[in-house]
Amino acid sequence: KEDKEEDESKEEDNGSQQNRASRRKNYQRRNGDGKKAREERSQKKGRGKTAPNKDQKESENKEKKTTKRGKEGENKQKKDRKNSISSSSNSSDEESLSEEELAMLKEQVEQKKKLISTMRNKPWRMVKKLSVLREAQDFVEKFEGALGKGKGKKLYAYKMMMAKKWVKFKRDFENFKTQCIPWEMKIKEVESHFGSSVASYFIFLRWMYGVNLVLFGLIFGLVIIPEVLMGMPYGSLPRKTVPRAEQATAMDFSVLWDFEGYIKYSALFYGYYNNQRTIGWLKYRLPMAYFMVGISVFGYSLMVVIRSMARNANESTTDGDDDNFIFSWKMFTSWDYLIGNPETADNKFASITTSFKESIVDEQESNKDENIHLRRFLRVLANVLIICCLCGSGYLIYFVVKRSQTFSKMQNVGWYERNEVEIVMSLLGMFCPPLFETIAALENYHPRIGLKWQLGRIFALFLGNLYTFLLALMDDVNEKLAEEDVVKNITHWTLLGHHNSSAGNDSTVTPPPLDPADVPRGPCWETTVGIEFVRLTVSDILVTYITILVGDFIRACFVRFVNYCWCWDLEAGFPSYAEFDISGNVLGLVFNQGMIWMGSFYAPGLVGINVLRLLTSMYFQCWAVMSSNVPHARVFKASKSNNFYMGLVLLILFLSLLPVAYTIMSLPPSFDCGPFSGKKRMYDVIQETIELDFPLFVAKIFSYVANPGLIIPAILLMVLTIYYLNAVSKAYQRANAELKKKMQMQREEEKNKRNNKASTNPMLQDLEDLLTPSTKTESPPKQAEDKKTESQNGTSPVGKPGRGEFLAGSPMAGGRGAAFTPPSQVFVTQPRTLGARAPHPGQPRPWGHPLGPVPGRGRGQPCYPRAAR
Amino acid sequence: MALLDQKNNNVSITVFILCCVHTIMTRKENGWQEHREDFQRIPELAINPLGDRIINAFFPEGEDQVNFRGFMRTLAHFRPIEDNEKSKDQNGPEPLNSRSNKLHFAFRLYDLDKDDKISRDELLQVLRMMVGVNISDEQLGSIADRTIQEADQDGDSAISFAEFVKVLEKVDVEQKMSIRFLH
């Protein structure tokens, strides 16, 4: 039976290889003639089970075999010859025989494979195809193993298998990749219900999470874990021990909550690290690593932000010219024909609706006319109000900070006094954005532009907060520095005194070392700064979560359930459900990230906290949005590249780089804590490493490179390069805009012309037909390509024929269009209506056929099923 | 034919094919005639807002059944175009799964009264199917107007096939209206 199958496949292969076209004709003829007979047969086959099926097939095969026997014989002879040649080297007869068999087998397997690959093109019925396919696959599977004797064959079989596997693997890998994008489904779900603007926040959050994960890996892998594994253990050094006075309360929750006590003296903070040059048996240079990681956190962040900005910019320019057919595309291509899951279908419905709404908003905005003076006045007014708000909040913070400085001098202050700054800042952050939003309603911008304004304003507010906070911190640090000088002397004398006394008392026994807990400490300003940032971050997290819980969830519950017994409609009336606050959330995220960047140098553990925060807030906010928010009244489309967010991140990155750089470059590190203790400046660690660990010439080169005489020209060169590149990109942009404008103009002109042609101006149309008689009469004009032909004939509005053509279709689209539609065939479907719109019989109108047989169809176009059937 | 993520596509493709094949297999005893209800049992079609239209496309005019050949002929529109086919079949008959045929199939889904034009009313019907009652009629009307205005080139306030092709010039129909099967 297999033989027969094989025969058939061979026959088919020959056919397909030799002349496909003739085979097709054959097939069509057969279709036409023996259609009924075939159907009957197939019905029979359907009713009977497999056995008669096989019989029939066999009989068929026999017929075919008789016709094709000759060819096959030739083939086999050839095969034999080959085999004899190949096996002639082998002397024994038996072996050659088996070789022959093997070769046969191989041939068969190959043919089966070919059959499988060409299966789709066969004019068979589906059942037959399926059964043949299954048999062929079984055969290949069964006998491919038998081929594993000869070396070349093995390799071949192996290659084939690998190729197959590779294709499958690639497809699986694609699936896997899309599955691996974290939270993709969650975000899609949110997007389909709340529009792309809300989704853009979540995408941003995801991106942030990715960046933080890398930073986390960097800091934990290179600083914290080496320190924990190889550094000196807790309690071995004064800086790694809780002082005696604090030990009693060091484990209390209230103390730990303030990040004092044991947490303060742990690897999470700067002060815990020792200034030993190398630690452990690896000779790991921890201080150096600490410094380099601190720098590379910023370096990596800058690189990532800028790279993604550049990528976004690229994306937004590449699909810039697609906005010609927004609505048509939405209309014709928005449904995914492959959706089979009801839930997905619901999402898709929601997303189509949302996208239509987005487009409607855009559309309304673009043709809005109004009283421009009133609008201008209101906008100015809104800005004045907002500037007042900003100044007020700035003063409030200044006032609170001053007050807190006096509080810090007093001894026993309550919880509120200690946390006043944080509380006020959180409250400002909570209440100002809604206020701004209310004011922004005066301006009546398009929501997308409105969002940008809103973002900018809240950014200014937060920035004020941030920098006030930093200035207060700076004062604090300076105080601590002054205090440190005093403590340094005390420590010095204490240690000296201890040694002297022990040495004086008993010189033979080594003096009992002073317990590390008893050594007087400096204030260690770095740890203080780190603790401030951690506290701020944690309180920010809490405030955010509580706001969501109360402001969104509880409100939604209230509105939903109390509505049954309330005197007015809560859902439509006053409280209603909350909308998702994009601007507030985005800025919260951005500023939080700024905190992380600033704080991570002095509190390496901060990044870990942030990773946790982002992870939880992804789930929490997704849940909150889906459960208790309603879509915006005016859903608007986010700009494709969220470069505005990225711009904010870049700005905040730069702003948070400044204070860190300042403290590293110009403040002396504490004398008794941290990896840089004992040095004049933190960056001395680099010089030290270069001097001690590198050969001399490296140090020399480094000193040359660090020479200002070299740095200044380098910076100049960079500036010039930037200037040049900027100029070039501007020029490109201009050219681009020009081209786009021309395209648009051409399109419009063409439309106008057509309209004129159709409705009002028969004279002109006649004239035009006279002007371009050749194209119009030669080929049935295809409207899709009319533009092109016209521009080739020089009637294009742009004038220059060459450019006109270039503009008419972008090379890709034009090329494809031309490739898939040989003109005479496609235009068949045009007719009837065109006749109606041009009601003068005198002009040559080769396309004016009624909907009947058209010349193009005779050439065998089975494409329109109705006609073909 | 749209932009949902890949994962879903691949899953549903298999489901779709399985359903088709299953439909074929189960209808053996009925003599290879497909009935409308069989199609409506395929989830892809039951959910699709244009599902009824697609089902209608399988049936010759006025009939309630389709034989296997007709079924396959229609289904062939969904076959992907392969690279080697593109180059080979230049002078042979145009295959059913060519780009223009795919487009024409799609066009007929929208063109209800078969006058080779998509009119405003036809667009409105489709819109209503796609977005349901979530958008007011007025806005739907404006969307339809905008669509026609965008696509219309000859000023007859309807979309002809040529204009349809022009609109979808840059959409990757070859891939989007395709189903991979047998492999």
Domain layout of chain A by residue ranges: 100-180, 196-358+524-695, 707-758
Chain B hits for A339, Cβ within 8 Å: 4, 8, 12, 44, 47-48
| Nearest CA among B102, B100, B152, B170 for reference residue A811 | B170
- Judged by CB atoms closer than 8 Å, whether chains meet at A332 and B168 is answered as yes
- Judged by CB atoms closer than 8 Å, whether chains meet at A46 and B31 is answered as yes
**pLDDT at site A818:** 38
Domains and their CATH numbers in chain B: 1-77 (1.10.238.10), 98-174 (1.10.238.10)
Ramachandran angles phi, psi of A578, nearest 5° = -80, 150
Strand partners, A284: A279
Chain B hits for A28, Cβ within 8 Å: 93
Q: Are A338 and B13 in contact (CB under 8 A)?
A: yes
| Nearest CA among A706, A733, A604 for reference residue A231 | A604
Secondary structure of A799-859 in HEC code, one letter for each residue: CCHHHHHHHHCCHHHHHHHHHHCCHHHHHHHCCHHHHHHCCCCCCCCCCCCCCCCCHHHHH
The residue with tokens 């909150």 is A624
Chain A hits for B68, Cβ within 8 Å: 39, 42, 125-126
Which among A43, A185, A337 has the least Cβ separation from residue B44? A337
In chain A, which residue's Cα lies nearest the Cα of B8?
A: A339
Q: Which of B21, B119, B146 to mutate to test the interface with A (most CBs of A within 10 A)?
A: B146
The residue with tokens 């200037």 is A723
Q: Are A395 and A366 in contact (CB under 8 A)?
A: no
d(CA A468, CA A266): 29
What spatial distance separates the first Cα and last Cα of chain A, rounded to whole Å?
A: 36
With residues binned 3-state (H G I as helix, E B as strand, rest as coil), the percentages for chain B, rounded to 5, are: 60, 5, 35
**pLDDT at site A712:** 94
d(CA B43, CA B51): 10
**Using one digit for the tens of pLDDT, what is the confidence trace for B141-160?**
887 887 887 777 777 778 88
d(CA A392, CA A389): 5
On the CB side of A475, how many CA atoms lie within 13 Å of its CA?
12
Chain B hits for A130, Cβ within 8 Å: 21
d(CA A559, CA A553): 10
**Using one digit for the tens of pLDDT, what is the confidence trace for B13-44?**
444 554 555 555 555 445 555 666 666 666 66
Q: Alpha-carbon torsion B11, B12, B14, B18, what sign?
A: positive
Residues of chain A with pLDDT under 50: 1-96, 149, 320-321, 506-507, 774-869
**Using one digit for the tens of pLDDT, what is the confidence trace for A350-391?**
777 777 777 777 777 776 666 778 888 888 898 899 899 888
Q: According to DSSP H, which parts of A629-707 are helical?
A: 643-666, 684-693, 696-705
d(CA A53, CA A222): 71
If you ran DSSP here, which 8-state letter would residue A284 be given?
Answer: B
Ramachandran angles phi, psi of A284, nearest 5° = -75, 125
Q: How far is B35 from chain A (nearest CA, A)?
A: 16
- Judged by CB atoms closer than 8 Å, whether chains meet at B47 and A345 is answered as yes
Q: How far is B66 from chain A (nearest CA, A)?
A: 11
From chain B residues 122-161, the ones with a CB under 8 A of any chain A CB are: 123, 126-127, 130-132, 134-135, 139, 142-143, 146-147, 150-156, 158-161
- Judged by CB atoms closer than 8 Å, whether chains meet at B43 and A340 is answered as yes
Whole-angstrom CA distances from A58 to A7, A52, B5, B129 are 11, 10, 46, 51
Other beta carbons within 10 Å of A92: 9
d(CA A270, CA A602): 5
**pLDDT at site A213:** 95
Q: Are A796 and A745 in contact (CB under 8 A)?
A: no
Q: According to DSSP H, which parts of A220-285 are helical?
A: 225-230, 253-257, 261-264
| Nearest CA among A488, A483, A589, A466 for reference residue A532 | A466
A821, burial (CB in 10 Å: exposed 0-12, middle 13-18, buried 19+):
buried
Pairing of strands A629-630, B33-35: unpaired
Q: How far is A422 from chain B (nearest CA, A)?
A: 43
Q: How far is A357 from chain B (nearest CA, A)?
A: 8
| Beta-strand runs (E) in A625-771 | 629-630
Output the pTM of the full model. 0.64
Q: How far is B39 from chain A (nearest CA, A)?
A: 13
**pLDDT at site A593:** 93
- Judged by CB atoms closer than 8 Å, whether chains meet at B106 and A332 is answered as yes
d(CA A678, CA A724): 46
Q: Are A304 and A215 in contact (CB under 8 A)?
A: no
Q: Are A834 and A847 in contact (CB under 8 A)?
A: yes
**pLDDT at site A401:** 77
- Judged by CB atoms closer than 8 Å, whether chains meet at B153 and A750 is answered as yes
**pLDDT at site A719:** 97
Q: Are A275 and A287 in contact (CB under 8 A)?
A: yes
d(CA A826, CA B173): 16
Model-level ipTM above the cut of 0.85: no
**pLDDT at site A305:** 93
Which among B95, B151, B161 has the least Cβ separation from residue A829? B161
- Judged by CB atoms closer than 8 Å, whether chains meet at A328 and B147 is answered as yes
Chain A hits for B138, Cβ within 8 Å: none
d(CA A645, CA A653): 12
Q: How far is A570 from chain B (nearest CA, A)?
A: 21
Chain B hits for A633, Cβ within 8 Å: none
Amino acid identity, position A547: T
Q: Are A183 and A206 in contact (CB under 8 A)?
A: yes
Pairing of strands A578-579, A629-630: parallel
Instruction: For chains A and B, count residue pairs whose Cβ atoms are closer than 8 Å.
Output: 252
Helical packing angle, A708-759 and A762-771, nearest 10°: 120
More confident residue, B130 or A380: A380
**pLDDT at site A220:** 93
In chain A, which residue's Cα lies nearest the Cα of B87?
A: A819
Q: According to DSSP H, which parts of A88-183 are helical?
A: 93-118, 126-144, 151-180
- Per the structure block, which two tokens stand in for A385? 């109000």
Other beta carbons within 10 Å of A528: 20
d(CA A78, CA A84): 10
